[in-house]
Structures are given as C-alpha cells and as structure tokens.
Amino acid sequence: MDASNGPVADHDGRSATAPHEPVRLGDRPLLPSEDPFYRPPAGYERAAPGTVLRSRDVQLAFLGVVPQRFTATQLLYRTTDMANNPLTTVTTVLAPAERTEPCPIVSYQCAIDAVAGRCFPSYALRRRARAAGALAQFELLLIAAVLAEGWAVSVPDHGGPHGVFGAPFEPGHCVLDGLRAALNFAPLRLSSTAPIGLWGYSGGGLATAWSAEMYDSYAPELDIVGAVLGSPVGDLGNTYHRLNGKFFSGLPVMVVAALMHSYPEFRAVLERHLTAEGKATLERLATMTTAHAVMRLAKKDMATMLTTSLDEVLDLPEVRHVFDNIRLGTAAPTMPVLIIQAVHDRIISVGDIDQLAQTYALGGTDVTYHRDRFCEHILLHPMSAPMSLRWLRDRFNGRPLDERRARTTWPTLFNPSTYRGMARLAVVSGKVIAGRGVERRPLSELDR
C-alpha cells in the first residue's frame, strides 16, 4: 500500500475509512522522516483539526528492547501549526482493557526536548527503536502508571513533524487535536463525555501549559478538568540566558535550532551571524537525542558560534520578537492547574514559575502550586508522580479543590503519602522493566 494515499474524512473530523495497519511483529521501526505512515494523504488540509488520517497498531518496549504486553494504537491526524496552517502529527494511544465508563483520558506530554525524530514518542516508545538518550523511553514508566489507573492515555508528538521544541501555540494544537483524534477513532471506544486531564514535566510541562492556555479558544468542547504543569519553563528567554555556557547548555542550543524552523526572520538573522562551525553544530542536532546533545554541548557558550557578540545578536529586533513570543502567560487556563516546581532547580528558574503561577491566578485560574524546597529538577519528576496522579483522580471524581492551594513549603521527600505512592510506582515500573504487563491498581488510591 502506498501510505501517501488514502481517504480523507469529511469536515466533521471523523475518518472511519482511514487506512489501518495491524501490528507487524519483528519489524524495526523507521525514523519518522523515512516512515510513509507520517506522510499526510493528499487533501488532508480540507479535514477538520483532529481528523484521523491513518492508524496502526504498534508494540511498545521499555528502552526499545523490553517488549510490553500492552499494544498501542498510533493515529496520524490533522492539526495546525503556530500560524494556524494545516499540519499533521502522530499520537500514541493506550486504552485499558479493564475500565470504568466513560473511561477518563490523560494526555501525557513527554519531555521530547529535541528536534531529532528519534526522540518523538511515536518512534522512541516502539520496540526495537534506536533512541538511546530519548527521554520518552524512560517516561514509559509513568505512561504505564497512568494506564494502571484504568485511564486511557494519549502521548502526542507535540513538537509536530519538525520537532519545534520551544515554539509557542503549536504544541497546544498538537495536544488538543491528539485528544480529538483519540475520541474520533471509534475502535478505541472512548467517550466524548469522558473527563480529560493533561500532564507533563519540563519540556512536556511547557507543552502542557500551552495546551491549557489554548484550550478555551481552540478546543472548548473537550471536557478537560485539570492540568498538571511540572516545571513548565515559563520564560524560555530567561532559561536561555540561565543555561547558556553551563552544563545543560545543549538545551537552549536545541531550542534555537528548533525556532529557526518556526521563525524565518530569526533564521535569516542567525545565518548571517553564525560561524561555519556554528552552522554545522545546529545541523548535527537533527540527529542527536536529548541526552546526546546535552553531553556533546555541555558548557557550550553560543557566543563561540557567532561572528559577532552574543549580546548584539540578542538585541536584534527579530531575536527579541521571538523571545517575547515564546513566553507563557498569553491566556489564563480555564481549568484548574497543579504547578510543580523545585526551588533549587538548576535548569528552570523558580522565579519564572512563581511569576507564571501569579499570572494564571490573577487571570482567574484555580492554581495549586507545589513549590518544593528540597528536590531538584530531575528528581522532582518521579517524586511528584504520586501527587500528580492523586490530583488528577480527584479532578476526575469531581472532588473539591484543596483550599491550601499555595502549599509551597513541604517537600515531597518528607511526605509519607509520597512513599506509599512511590512503592506502587516501583511495582508498576518493575513490571514494565520485566515486560510482565500492567494490571489496574490505582497508585492514587494507595498513596493517600
């Protein structure tokens, strides 16, 4: 079958006749740039956002090598880019066999934090994927924890087909349209009345925040009842200055490489001022996983990649426009949000997240802010998972929000409920690592 062909649905967003591929055991997945599945069919632009254009069943594996007993369905769907032009991307959807009806849905945004296709969850999560250093491979443990709750989970390639790490608006479109696609795909048996939650951390938290900000204007028909924003960056411009020349300097360099795709004027300015070595470095990022780029570019000062001073380039109007445009806070989310941030975070400034929480609260958002005084950036992600799952379950069950919404001081490491939840998370993780399957036994019921 020529994967570039196939019917496009009517503008109601449904596509019952879109091509579907069964699981192909033993096949090594192709990179997204080489895989015909990712190519949109002719005329896809006429379809409504969220329309399923193509689908397939795939086998997942921990780190690409430990096959899982649960399979997943991947959906190629129509969405829009940051300028509202037609675009396509893919989400990987897992639905539990044992479920309540309507089955709650979580859109889990991985910390892709790269421009390379091998870091896209739709590739990195698959069996035999060559994606060492892609953070999504480790986040399969948390995706499995969501599934163990008895909830369906959508894992979108929220950077779109070009991996636009750091771009505004577009990640929100990709996430929200991924949920529409999952609801539109009849074989998944998901209900449009199902409560929906959003969850992501770091780069995934940034994408989740864009989804929460854009929800009311872009996809208000979805019943999104809460969003967990784990260390959601807040101000990428400040983060760039904070990390440039430090150990994690590879992250802002990757953001620059990604933004050159989204902002032509920004690209033109940089190409005028980049050295030959600087251009080669940015081009190499197209094949690097997140961990690879961080290690290769540790303590890299972008000033060494330019023919003029870094301050002069940063002061150019085309550059200042981009840094202003990519800052969160354009709209206050209309659903409750849980913001999680480490005070002693070497990557994301707690001051930026303080400001974001205040901006949301002043805009009318119900904000619960966990400002952890003990953990740092990487450790806080798994340590806050029990809290995140418990908070989402409370939203799904319609429980009132905790009146102590600014619980900013008590560290997760000193909370007994964290360890009850972590014990269950360890059981789920052990099953994933051993490839033994995940049965439903909610973490959130065990960590109260």
Just give the CATH number of 20-235+328-446: 3.40.50.1820
Question: Tell me, which fold does domain 248-325 have in CATH?
Answer: 434 Repressor (Amino-terminal Domain) (1.10.260)
Q: Which residues contact 13 (CB under 8 A, 6 or more apart)?
A: 47, 48, 49, 50, 51, 180, 184
Each of the 448 residues of the chain gets a pLDDT tens digit; together they read 344 455 555 555 444 467 898 888 778 999 999 999 999 999 999 999 999 999 999 999 999 999 999 889 999 999 999 999 999 999 999 999 888 899 999 999 999 999 999 999 999 999 999 999 999 999 999 999 999 999 999 999 999 999 999 999 999 999 999 999 999 999 999 999 999 999 999 999 999 999 999 999 999 999 999 999 999 999 999 999 999 999 999 999 999 999 999 999 999 999 999 999 999 999 999 999 999 999 999 999 999 999 999 999 999 999 999 999 999 999 999 999 999 999 999 999 999 999 999 999 999 999 999 999 888 999 999 989 999 999 999 999 999 987 656 555 556 666 666 667 788 888 999 999 999 877 554 444 434 4
Checking phi first, is residue 19 left (phi over 0); if not, alpha (psi -120 to 50) or beta?
Answer: beta
Could you tell me if 96 and 152 are in contact, meaning their C-beta atoms sit under 8 angstroms apart?
yes
Closest listed residue to residue 234, CA positions, set 89, 92, 106, 371:
371
Q: How far apart are CA 88 and CA 39, in angstroms?
A: 8
Domain boundaries, the chain: 20-235+328-446, 248-325
Do domains 20-235+328-446 and 248-325 share one topology? The answer is no
